[in-house]
Structure formats: C-alpha cells, structure tokens
Structure 1
Amino acid sequence: MLDVEICKKARHSRDPRFDGKFFIAVKTTGIYCRTTCPVHPPKEENVTYFSTAMSAAQAGYRPCLRCRPDSAPGSAPWKGVGTTLDRALHLIDQGALQQGSLPQLASRLGVSDRYVRKLFNQHLGVSPKAYALYQQCLFAKKLLHQTQLPITEIALASGFDSIRRFNDCFKNQLQLTPTKMRKQQDQSNSNITLTLYYRPPFNWQKMQQFLSKRQIDGLEWVTDDSYGRTFFWQDCKGQFTAKHCDQKHCFEVDIEIDEIKYLKPVVNNIRRILDLDADLGQIEGDLKNALPNEFTLVTGLRLPGIWSLFEAGVRAILGQQVSVQAAKNLVTQLVHELGEKHEEQAFFPTPKAMATSDLAFLKMPTARRQTLIRFAEHFSQNDVTDNADDWLPIKGIGPWTVAYAKMRGQSDPDIFLASDLGVIKALKSQQAFDDKKISPWRSYLTFQLWSQL
C-alpha cells in the first residue's frame, strides 16, 4: 500500500530517486504523470496515487504527453515477488505472446496457463494478454513521439499484424489515436533515435572505462560519452550507438536495423546491456547494510552486458587464465577472421562459422581451441536453450565460465565470481564478510571489487 503522506512529499520535491516508484493521476484532467513531471503541481484533493502505470491506465487515466510516464524505469511492483512472474514478464516483453500462445508461454515457464493468469491478476491486476497489449502500445507510443517512422511500420515494429488492429488497440489502451499521439518533428530526420531513461545514479565513467578496455575494433565503438556496436538478432542485423546524457538521466540511442519487426526486443536488449532498469538506490542500500563499514562503495556502478549469451560464452572461454588485454586480442582475431564484414564494421561470428573452422589462427592451447569448437557446435543445434548451466558437460567449460557468461550475457544480478583472480586479489584488502547475505545483488558486489583493482 502506498503511504499518501510520503507520496505527497515526493510529488512536490520532484526528486528523481522516486521516479517510477509511483504515479500521480489527476482527476480533473484524466491524465497520470511521473513524479518528475514539469507541470505545475495540481491540488492535493484532485490527486490519486498508483503504484504502477498499468493500474493508472486500468482506472481510466491516459499518460501525460510531457513527462511520458511510460518511460519511467520499471519499478518493483511491476516485477512481482516470484521468479516465475519475473520470467513471464521478461518473455512477454521479448514478444512471447506475439509469436505464440499463453499455453506455450506457460509451458516454457513450467507451470499451467491457469497459474500464469492467477499470478498476473494477483500482482498486476490484469491478464497476461492485457499486459502484453499495453506494452506493445507503450512501445508504439515511444516510436510515435521519437521517430518519423510511418505508422504502418510502427504497427509492425510493435507486434501488430494489421493497421486496423493497431488503431483499435491503441485507442482502447491510451484513449488517443496514433495520429493524434504523433509528435511533430523535423520531417528530414529519418533515423530511428530513441530516448532510454534510467533512474540515477549511473556511474557512466566506470562503465565507459570497463567497456573501453574490452572494445573490439570494428565490432564496437566507445567514446567519452557513448557506446555502440553491430549486432545480430534472429534473422536480422543492425547497429546502434547509445550516447549518455547525464543531466537528463537517459541515453539517446541511434538504431539501424534491417527488420523493423525486431525493433522492440532489440531495444529491450540495449536496455539490458546498459543495465538501465536497475534500481541502484535499493541495490546500494542492501550492499551497505551487508558489507563492513570500511568497504568503499562506488556509487552508480552498473553491470555492463554483452549482446548475447553465445558471445558472452565465447569471450569467457577466450578469457580463461589470461589477462584482459590477451583475451581482447583473441576476440579481435576471431571477429576479424570469421565475422561478417560490412565496410569498416564487423559482426560477431555465428556459431556455425566457428563450428566449421579449425581456429588455427588463434594463438592459444589446442585444448582451448577444441573447447571453443565444441561450444560453437553446441549452439549450432536447434534445441539450444538460454540455460548456461547446460554447458557444464562440455569439456573445458567450468563454473567460472558459466557464471561469467550468465553475469554479462544474461545480466544475472546474483553472480559472485569467488574464484576470479581479480576478486581474490581485491578481497585481500577487505574485512571478511558473508557474500550470501548480499544476495540477490552479488553481481554488483563482483563489479565493486573489480573497480578497486
């Protein structure tokens, strides 16, 4: 339950730390806003507070066109309390109900579709399909505001098969037609440029340094205020550049993609690799409570991700028992020898390209080359899942490799690399503590220790 007095103080303070924690609905206008909305604060008697944007929308309010409450970072009430609900939300956001049915989604979760409906009704107050449609409409709204894509392409990118279905659903969910929602912009701008917000703090300097040390020329590009790379997503390819805007608490992201229907999952993956949805206030609070007082905590430290689980696994194997620079050189050789090239850019090699090569160009032990080939063969199979623990039977892959890949390829927040040489070295200068008490944020602890080297 929301504490009205706390919400009242937070609303008037416009403190960005409350952004996404709750939403403000105004009875006289029928609009709901973020806590950081720049409009003049309405009278308290005209205000109702909601814990989620979804609950405000279900109560009949439409999103504010100035503060765009749909862009507020995901808050805890959205995520629910169980891992099943967390995974269901993740799969739906990735398009599970656009590409399949609710029973198929339930099967992937290992539960019944009746139980999935119960979870959504209990924790979100809506059905899984209603949640999916609302997310599709919010993504379409972002594209209408921030790009000049034709409405037909926006409908396709948002997961709708027909314009009529798109228009009806958009109007029902947001009480406006796509045409009325369209923001007037410079018509000469044809690039896809989106603004991806986060809840501060965000230590971009530390993330930039981490990514820069591991940058693969041609595949990635890193500047003082941006990160970009090429990518594959299913049967499409593209590239993006994310520019950090510290004062606005966001990234301006330019995206090129040859299949517009994959835009939403691509944007979700960009959010993941930049760790934009993390609530650092809660995470750092938990770390401070569990760690010794002498531990120096670096504020705003995020988890820099890798584009795919396969790429993370390859980087982890090439990084076994060698320095960061040596691993970077090996990955660079791999990309330049086997990756698809386009002008001055390169794409990360596919599993098939690696599985059919002897990798003789890599200057490393033969046993490790064979491990890499077996790993690529594993991914070349059609029945490969996203469970990295399935790699352990592959000769040459151990717990460290799997854990590193899960931490950076899936952004698992609870990975403590206790056997990592850097972590061991950093722990020598720290008082003893129980890492289990820091769960579920042990990945952030790992990066905190790395940052002290």
Structure 2
Amino acid sequence: MLQPHTCQRARRSRDARFDGQFFTAVLTTGIYCRSICPAPSPKEENVRYYPSAAQAAQAGFRPCLRCRPDCAPNSAVWNGVDTTLSRAIALIHRGDLQDQNLPEFAERLGVGDRYLRQLFQKHLGLSPKTYALYQQCLFAKQLLHQTQLPIHQVAVASGFNSVRRFNDCFQKNLKLTPTQVRRQTNPASETIQLDLSYRPPYNWDQVQPFLAARTIEGLDACDANSYRRTFQHDGVTGSFHAIHQPTKNRFQVSIELDDLQALRPTIQRIRRLLDLDVDSEAVFATLRECLPEPFPLKQGLRIPGQWTMFEAGVRAVLGQQVTVVAAKKLVRTLIETLGETQGSQRFFPTPRAVAAADLSFLKMPQSRKNTLATLAHHYLTHPEPDQPEAWLALKGIGPWTVNYAKLRGRGDPDVFLGGDLGVKKVVQQHTPDLDPNRAAPWRSYLTMQLWSMY
C-alpha cells in the first residue's frame, strides 16, 4: 500500500500511472473512486485510502458510477508478498474459484483452506470467497456499462448460476442494482466490446513489431495500432480485436465468443497477452539501477504473450537454435497442417492433434520432432500440464525452452533468459558486468530491454 501522503498527491494530480494501485473512499458520499476520477477532489479529512476495490467495498463504500473502479488496471497490492497469495489472486481473477469449493481450491495451491483464509485476511482484509464474489460483481458491472448483453447473460458471463443470485450478490456488494447501472437499452450484439485500461507508459512501438514479426495468416494479425487473433481453448472458440488508444491509456477490445461463461477468463488472457497490469514505472526504476547510465533504457516495455502455455511451449521448441524467421515458418507449417479452420480463420493445433501426427512435414531434426510429440503427450497425460518446471524431465527440453514458455505463456515477470543468443550478444557488447539478480522481481523486463537492443 502506498503511503497516505503519496496517495493524496496522486489523486490530486489524477496521474494515470497510479490508476488501480489504490482507491479513494469519501466519507461524506459513501463512494469510492479511482485515482483518476474526474469528480471534484474531496477534502482530505473526508478521505480514506484502500489498496483494493474489494477492501473499500468491505468498509461499506459503493463504487463510483463516473470513474468506474471496475475498469481500473488490476492492483498489484499482493505482488512480492507471498507466492501462494499471488497465484490464488491470479486464479480467482481467471474465475477458477467459481467452479470449486475453498478446500479444493486450496488443495490446488498446495495449502490448507484455513491457511489460505488467514493469508487473505492478513494481506487483503477479507476471505477468498468474499474477494472472488466481489471480483465477479465488478466484472458484471463492467459488462453492464460497456456491453449490450441482457442482464441474464451478464449473470451467466460473470459466473452466477441464477439471475436472482446475481441480483442479490450484486446489490449486497456494490450497494446498487444491475438496472441502476445499466444505461444501454439497445438489442444484444454478437460482438462484445470492452475497454481494457492500463497504467502508462505503454510502449506500443516495442510491442507492435514484436507481435507483427511472429503473426501467422489466419491466426493473428498486427497493424500500426491494433492486434487481432483467433483462439480455441477448453472447448471454447472465439476471436478478439484490440485497438490501442494511447490518449486514453487503454485498448478497445471486441470479442466474439461461442460460450459466454468463458468471457471472464478470456479477458484475463487478453490482459496477460498485452501485459496490461504491470506497473511500468516501478519496473523502469528498478532496471535503471541495475543497467549502466549510457544504456538506452526504454520506458513502458511490456511482455507480448501467447494465448496458452501449450502454444508458448510449442513455439519455444520450434524456435530452438533457429532464427525468428525460421521459427515462424515452422509454426506456420504446423498450423496449416494440424490446426482447425473456420472459413478464413485458423486455430492453433491442440495437444491431441500434435500428439497424433507423425510431424514428418516439419523440416527440422527428428530429435526436435520427438520433443514436440513428447510435450503434446505430456499435456494429454498430466492433470496439471501447465507447470513448465515439470517439462525439464522431458527429453529435449532445457532451461531456455522452459523460461521462454514462462515468459510468454504465463507472463512471469521474473525470468531472465541469460542463455538466449541475442541476450548474450547485447550483454557482451553493452553490459559485460551485468548482474541480472539486481533486476528482480522484473528480470523478464530486463530480458525484453536486452532483446530490444539485439
């Protein structure tokens, strides 16, 4: 949590770099706001600061309908506090606690449910279930504001099994009814449009060419100000188109989806793929300390992600010891041969499709084909295949492959690809005395800085 005097200066300046890092509650109105709220600034004696929207609500405040806290970038209040808590928060934002009871959820994290409750109470001041329900309500509020979905579809997309349960929970948590929030009366559209905010600066000039150099026709495309792609995952098919709006510190995103229940995890994947939740000012300050002054450090660098860990792993295997251009050709061949199609759209192959193929169409060493097949079989036979550390037991997969997958498939902020050829060359030329450990917990962004020089 930021210090109160820092929060005071940030809210008075309405600096977007603090958006989502704390929330301002006003005693005289009973409302809590984002730091960038355009409403007249209240007197300091009437203000209380909270590190998360859920804590402000727990204290009895309702969300502002003007600045809309549901649209704030995710707060990083738990970052660096506890790895179990950090993973639990990420899974809750993905919607995983909706489908499990707390003991099952805690077991998945490798802890007891009592310990997990204590962890949430200590750092966030509320229980895991209360936090999860509030996140569902905030997500529903965002859909009510920004989409034309009927209220019963908003309830389904937010993870509620009935409209009555949705209405009760929404009013209890937000002190508002869904109909009070809903302003649009237009008929529902097949395309869902949302605004996904971030804390500036965002270096789209770095992200755009990185993504554009790796696009595959039919799967994804990247132009001067937008990125689009198709996806198939967990039985859900869809696509999205994200348009960068730098003057508003956000991406305008259009989503087409064949199952509304997957909307929330889909949005979380888009946020991770575009790396919308990092505090880039904090990253820059840390990297400035560990890189020599002449080094042309770029502000606002992000980690362009992949849709799934499996896709990131496959791309990492295909990219072993070859150039980006050569790796892209292999990926294109794999998608054209094994990926499903819908009209002009292509989809990344599933683990089952890769495991069933002989892969003779790929022009690369047989040992690497075997590695690809082994990875696919791993996904078919393990209950938690998205744990790349376990991939090290697979023949042909080493630390570089695992770390690359963690960097782009998971969005892990603290991965240094010291064994990467491009990273090695830049280090030798510009920073021979570099100690990457000084960049923790942002070593992934150090990797991106060095790649940008290669």
Partner of 2:221, secondary structure, is strand
Distance 2:398 2:3 in 1: 48
Deviation at 1:291, TM superposition (A): 1.9
- Provide closer, same or farther for how the CA distance between residues 8 and 340 of structure 1 changes in structure 2, counting only shifts above 3 A: same
Computed over aligned residues only, the root mean square deviation of the Cα atoms, in angstroms, reads: 1.5
- 1:178 aligned partner, one-letter code: P
Deviation at 1:21, TM superposition (A): 2.4
For each residue in 1:169-223, what CA deviation from the matched residue of structure 2 results, as whole angstroms up to 9, or x when unmatched? 0000001111111122654755200110000010001100000001111110111
For the 8 Å contact 2:306–2:408, the answer to whether it is kept is: yes
TM-score (norm 1): 0.97
TM-score (norm 2): 0.97
For the 8 Å contact 1:146–1:183, the answer to whether it is kept is: no
Per the alignment, residue 148 of structure 2 pairs with 148
For the 8 Å contact 2:17–2:200, the answer to whether it is kept is: yes
- Provide closer, same or farther for how the CA distance between residues 254 and 48 of structure 1 changes in structure 2, counting only shifts above 3 A: same
- Provide closer, same or farther for how the CA distance between residues 390 and 80 of structure 1 changes in structure 2, counting only shifts above 3 A: closer
For each residue in 1:230-257, what CA deviation from the matched residue of structure 2 results, as whole angstroms up to 9, or x when unmatched? 1112111100011110000001110011
Kindly report which structure 2 residues correspond to 1:152-231, keeping only aligned pairs within 5 A, or say none.
152-184=152-184, 186-187=186-187, 189-231=189-231
Per the alignment, residue 438 of structure 2 pairs with 437
Per the alignment, residue 340 of structure 2 pairs with 340
- 2:439 aligned partner, one-letter code: I
Q: 5+ unaligned residues in a row in structure 1: which ranges?
A: none
Per the alignment, residue 82 of structure 2 pairs with 82
For the 8 Å contact 1:80–1:123, the answer to whether it is kept is: no
- 1:445 aligned partner, one-letter code: L
- 1:221 aligned partner, one-letter code: A
Deviation at 1:10, TM superposition (A): 2.0
- Between stretches 91-100 and 112-121, larger displacement belongs to 91-100
Aligned length: 453
Distance 2:326 2:5 in 1: 56
For each residue in 1:345-365, what CA deviation from the matched residue of structure 2 results, as whole angstroms up to 9, or x when unmatched? 100001111111111111111
Partner of 1:429, secondary structure, is helix
Distance 2:268 2:188 in 1: 27
Deviation at 1:75, TM superposition (A): 2.5
Per the alignment, residue 17 of structure 2 pairs with 17
Partner of 1:93, secondary structure, is helix
Kindly report which structure 2 residues correspond to 1:310-329, keeping only aligned pairs within 5 A, or say none.
310-329=310-329
Partner of 2:252, secondary structure, is strand
Partner of 1:238, secondary structure, is strand
Per the alignment, residue 452 of structure 2 pairs with 451
Distance 1:89 1:190 in 2: 30
Partner of 1:137, secondary structure, is helix
Per the alignment, residue 30 of structure 1 pairs with 30
- Provide closer, same or farther for how the CA distance between residues 326 and 170 of structure 1 changes in structure 2, counting only shifts above 3 A: same
Partner of 1:392, secondary structure, is helix
- 2:96 aligned partner, one-letter code: A
Per the alignment, residue 126 of structure 1 pairs with 126
Per the alignment, residue 68 of structure 2 pairs with 68
Partner of 1:105, secondary structure, is helix
Distance 1:15 1:392 in 2: 44
- 2:16 aligned partner, one-letter code: P
Partner of 1:41, secondary structure, is coil
Distance 1:355 1:215 in 2: 24
- Between stretches 53-62 and 277-286, larger displacement belongs to 53-62
- Between stretches 259-268 and 292-301, larger displacement belongs to 292-301
For the 8 Å contact 1:233–1:266, the answer to whether it is kept is: no
For the 8 Å contact 1:233–1:262, the answer to whether it is kept is: no
- Between stretches 378-387 and 216-225, larger displacement belongs to 378-387
For the 8 Å contact 1:2–1:49, the answer to whether it is kept is: no
Per the alignment, residue 55 of structure 2 pairs with 55
